[in-house]
């Protein structure tokens, strides 16, 4: 592909350059639906297709090259690689700078003088600067001047303007003294735009101040910026826009801090916190009151108040205010539970599943019955993901809202963001995982326990009298159970078999964590961290389960279940809740704890039989093992 493009451009270079002048790019470029280059690139691509369809290959190639240059996204966070693909999926991606051949970069260099549209001129010059060998500083300067040709305004800033100005600053920093006084001029232009801003321009001044802040500019004018932001925050508050008010107070606090005015900075932080309180009051007084939403605002207010150094809290009675808000937060949390609706669906007939589960374990030797018992349900992380993606596709509205998970006492314990169409699949991963967890914890576990585990367990307890010693012996022979933990594992499994799931889960959860840790250690993985004082501490299960080696050892499906059962706040979070005494009587015998006990039994039994199948012992030894497991009374 690259070779073909290189040959075509080289063979027709002068014709392509000449064709660009007459290709009508200005009218096509003006047809873009908004101020974004990516949108304008679509119009250019369409014009290129029409030209190629009419047999005008040279004109089509000129338009297509410019369209590809416009299509890339711009990020100032990567100075040396600022351009990325517009889209990317497992099948491929759109254009990036390295896709262009040397001849095509030379084409961009040749036509920059013909372009008088600032954003396009800056993009072409920037590409030549990045890909040129050796780099020519003239194109970096041309890119800076083009990106900043028009004064900052809301009309352009909320399009490509903000990214272009940030890129211009990045280029100026990169070439240092070679940029001359351009960085100073950029700073002056932004300060001037901030000074004339008003509330009818929305967040324009806030975003301008953020550009200065992120690029470490504006320090000599910090008081001016802070005062303007403070005035805007007060104006927004008077208009009842508490969200905008709080954001501007937050920015003002940072700018006062830069100026060295710490008391005024703290005053702005207090004002920001109170803007959240005002938002809470406004929501409760609205036509659609919600204590859950109001509780979220109070939570944000408390977090902001906590940012105030303790040495400065007495002046504003901040500790007392935090305690007051905590009491109100607790009250709102409890009221929020009463506001929640129960959404029900049609019942599911599980009669056939129940009978199949009973039949699978009935009238079998104990070792065969237990193997069938732990095979009753199977979770596939890949299938869960497919179900989640299908759900998001069929019910798209659910994808755009943040999901809040509350504890039994009304506390917010987890939040999962909504999906954004502008983000890549990787950036939306958290939202996808939240839906997967909802399916797994909200449907799969309950269905497995009620239709499979409970019916089969009833048959097992009727047909087999298993003592604690049997499970201890089973744990001793299972390779996955760490040495010295056989008694604890065995007792946990026995308690569950006797339906004492509350006792079983309290024994089992910490042993599952230790088991994961030991398996990682055996694989040569470090499971500890060293603090600044040289104290070495073992990592918890949440950290261990995120190690890539964990999935290599346990597989994708088991790793997913361990994470969601024991670590995720969106799920039962058994490890944390048990460690901190957060399980009450009802939760300690819930479907989730029953399933977690069954999952632990599954790990032990499957590990035992997998090792037995791989053992090279003779048949007589294997028969001895079978005989011993088939006589639980001997254990």
Full DSSP string of 372-407: HHTTS----HHHHHHHHHHHHHHSGGGGGS-EEEE-
| 174, 79 contact by CB (below 8 A) | yes
3-class secondary structure, 189: helix
| 3-state SS track over 315-336 | HHCHHHHHHHHHHHHHHHHHHH
pLDDT at 9 over 70: yes
Q: Which of 99-103, 344-348, 579-583, 597-601 is predicted with the least confidence, judged by mean pLDDT?
A: 344-348
Residue percentage of the chain with pLDDT more than 90:
54
pLDDT at 478 over 60: yes
Long-range pairs, 575-580, Cβ under 8 A, ≥24: 575/509, 575/510, 575/512, 575/513, 575/540, 575/541, 575/542, 576/542, 578/505, 578/506, 578/509, 578/510, 579/509, 579/510
User: Is residue 403 very low, low, confident or very high in pLDDT (cuts 50, 70, 90)?
Assistant: low
Write out the H or E segment, with its range, that includes residue 85.
Answer: none
pLDDT tens per residue, range 330-344: 888 788 767 765 545
User: Is residue 348 very low, low, confident or very high in pLDDT (cuts 50, 70, 90)?
Assistant: low
Write out the H or E segment, with its range, that includes residue 536.
Answer: strand 536-538
Q: Is the peptide bond before 255 cis (omega within 30 degrees of 0)?
A: no
In the prediction, which pLDDT does 619 show? Answer: 43
In the prediction, which pLDDT does 626 show? Answer: 47
Q: What angle do CA 451, 453, 368 make, to 5 degrees?
A: 125
In the prediction, which pLDDT does 32 show? Answer: 60
Longest dimension (CA), the chain: 94
CA 343/CA 438 separation, integer angstroms:
14
pLDDT tens per residue, range 69-120: 999 999 877 888 999 998 887 678 999 999 999 999 999 999 999 999 999 9
| 440, 564 contact by CB (below 8 A) | yes
The residue count for the chain:
635
Q: Which of 274-278, 480-484, 586-590 is predicted with the least confidence, judged by mean pLDDT?
A: 586-590
Q: What angle do CA 602, 604, 607 make, to 5 degrees?
A: 100
């Amino acid at each position: 592909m690259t070779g073909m493009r290189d040959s075509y451009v080289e063979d027709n270079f002068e014709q392509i350059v000449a064709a660009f002048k007459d290709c009508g790019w200005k009218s096509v470029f003006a047809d873009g639906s908004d101020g974004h280059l990516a949108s304008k690139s679509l119009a250019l691509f369409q014009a290129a297709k029409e030209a190629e369809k009419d047999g005008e290959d040279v004109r089509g190639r000129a338009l297509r090259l410019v369209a590809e240059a416009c299509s890339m996204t711009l990020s100032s966070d990567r100075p040396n690689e600022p351009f990325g693909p517009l889209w990317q999926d497992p099948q491929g991606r759109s254009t990036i700078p390295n896709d262009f051949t040397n001849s095509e970069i030379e084409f961009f260099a040749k036509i920059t003088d013909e372009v008088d549209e600032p954003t396009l001129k800056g993009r072409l010059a920037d590409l030549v600067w990045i890909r040129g060998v050796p780099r020519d500083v003239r194109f970096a300067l041309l890119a800076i001047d083009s990106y900043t040709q028009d004064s900052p305004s809301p009309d352009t800033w909320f399009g490509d303007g903000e990214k272009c100005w940030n890129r211009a600053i990045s280029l100026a920093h990169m070439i240092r003294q070679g940029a001359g006084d351009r960085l100073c001029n950029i700073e002056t232009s932004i300060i001037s735009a901030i000074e004339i801003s008003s509330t009818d321009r929305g967040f324009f001044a806030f975003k301008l101040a953020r550009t200065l802040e992120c690029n470490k500019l504006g320090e000599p004018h910090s008081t001016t910026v802070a005062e303007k932001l403070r005035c805007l925050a007060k104006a927004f508050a008077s208009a009842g826009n508490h969200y905008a008010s709080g954001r501007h107070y937050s920015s003002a606090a940072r700018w006062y801090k830069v100026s060295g005015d710490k008391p005024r900075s703290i005053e702005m932080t207090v004002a920001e916190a109170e803007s959240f309180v005002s938002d809470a009051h406004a929501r409760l007084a609205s036509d659609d009151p919600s204590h859950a939403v109001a509780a979220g605002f109070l939570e944000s207010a408390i977090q902001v108040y906590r940012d105030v150094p303790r040495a400065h809290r007495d002046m504003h009675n901040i500790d007392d205010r935090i305690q007051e808000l905590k009491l109100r937060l607790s009250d709102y949390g409890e009221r929020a539970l009463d506001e929640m609706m129960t959404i029900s669906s049609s019942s599911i007939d599980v009669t056939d599943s129940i009978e199949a589960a009973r039949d699978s374990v009935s009238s079998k030797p104990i070792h065969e019955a237990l193997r069938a018992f732990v095979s009753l349900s199977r979770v596939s992380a890949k299938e869960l993901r497919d179900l989640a993606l299908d759900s998001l596709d069929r019910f798209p509205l659910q994808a755009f809202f943040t999901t809040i998970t509350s504890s039994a006492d009304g506390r917010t314990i987890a939040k999962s963001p909504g999906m954004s169409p502008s983000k890549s699949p990787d950036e939306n991963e958290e939202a996808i995982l939240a839906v997967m967890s909802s399916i797994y914890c909200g449907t799969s576990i309950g269905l497995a326990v009620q239709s499979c585990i409970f019916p089969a367990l009833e048959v097992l307890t009727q047909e087999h009298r298993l003592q604690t010693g049997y499970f201890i012996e089973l744990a001793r022979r299972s390779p996955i159970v760490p040495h010295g933990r056989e008694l604890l594992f065995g007792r946990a499994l026995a308690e569950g078999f006797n339906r004492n799931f509350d006792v079983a889960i309290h024994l089992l959860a910490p042993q599952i964590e230790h088991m994961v840790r030991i398996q990682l250690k055996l694989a040569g993985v470090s499971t500890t961290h060293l603090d600044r004082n040289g104290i070495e501490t073992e990592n918890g299960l949440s950290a261990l389960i995120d190690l890539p080696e964990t999935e290599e050892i346990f597989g994708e499906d088991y790793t997913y279940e361990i994470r969601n059962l024991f670590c995720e706040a969106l799920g039962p979070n058994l490890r944390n809740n048990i460690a901190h005494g957060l399980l009450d009587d009802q939760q300690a015998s819930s479907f989730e704890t029953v399933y977690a006990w069954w999952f632990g039994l599954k790990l032990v039994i499957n590990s035992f039989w997998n090792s037995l199948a791989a053992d090279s012992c003779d048949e007589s030894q294997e028969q001895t093992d079978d005989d011993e497991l088939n006589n639980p009374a001997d254990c």
